[in-house]
Amino acid sequence: MKQPDWEAIERAFRAGSLSIRAIAEKHGTKEGTVRSRAKRNGWQRDLTEQVKTATKAKLSRTTSRTDVTQSTVREDARIVEDASDEAADVVLAHRIVLAQWRGLANKLCHALDVMEVHEDNHNEFARSLNAGVDAQLKVIKGERQAYNLDTEEGDKTVETLSSMMDDLSTEA
């Protein structure tokens, strides 16, 4: 059986981007083993805010580079860099999927525009649309939670989108 990469596990743990369970699954070990190793070695999940800040900077393309001289700072910077790369990839993937959903919504809008809507097909169509949007919102919310990307503003956006879709399905 292959031994877990404890250096990679420590970096992921300290970055705080993934849950301990997700770290264990990703590296083929048990959650309790990761917890006990972290406790025994004094690992701290102290880089979460730095990862969030670096992720936001990458997404706005305003990241600035500075030279560092202390090995601990360099190690922290590497952990933050790797974790923020991973988190930024998740957000960028969400943008691609959301663009696909927008395309589907545009097709649906066109279809509804030319479709004769009757009472017998109206409810089925509205339920299908609502279920699809609801499923996508749940996937995005789950991934954002797994990477600690949720903010109060982001939660409001998801709630607003969900409310809008509920309103649209009842009005259709």
62 assigned to some structural domain = no
pLDDT for 166 equals 61
**Residue bearing the bigger pLDDT, 13 or 113:** 13
Domain of residue 125 covers: 86-171
95 assigned to some structural domain = yes
pLDDT for 55 equals 82
73 assigned to some structural domain = no
Could you tell me if 97 and 151 lie in one domain? yes
**Residue bearing the bigger pLDDT, 89 or 104:** 89
77 assigned to some structural domain = no
157 assigned to some structural domain = yes
Could you tell me if 32 and 95 lie in one domain? no
Could you tell me if 28 and 95 lie in one domain? no
Q: Which of 36-45, 80-89, 135-144 is predicted with the least confidence, judged by mean pLDDT?
A: 135-144
Q: How far is residue 73 CA from its own chain's centroid? A: 26
Residues 6+ apart with CB under 8 A from 84: 51, 54, 55, 57, 58
Q: How confident is the model at residue 155 (pLDDT cuts 50, 70, 90)?
A: low
Could you tell me if 140 and 92 lie in one domain? yes
Could you tell me if 42 and 97 lie in one domain? no
65 assigned to some structural domain = no
> Could you give the CA distance from residue 86 to residue 167 in angstroms, rounded to a whole number?
35
* Mean pLDDT to the nearest integer, 142-153: 62
Q: For the chain, how many structural domains are there in total?
A: 2
pLDDT for 109 equals 59
Is the pLDDT at 31 greater than 60? The verdict is: yes
Contact yes or no for 140/158 (Cβ under 8 A): yes
pTM over 0.75: no
Q: How confident is the model at residue 68 (pLDDT cuts 50, 70, 90)?
A: very low
Percent of the chain with pLDDT over 70: 56
* Mean pLDDT to the nearest integer, 102-115: 64
113 assigned to some structural domain = yes
> Could you give the CA distance from residue 15 to residue 78 in angstroms, rounded to a whole number?
10
- Interaxial angle between packed helices 71-114 and 119-146, expressed in degrees from 0 to 180 and rounded to the nearest 10: 180
Could you tell me if 95 and 40 lie in one domain? no
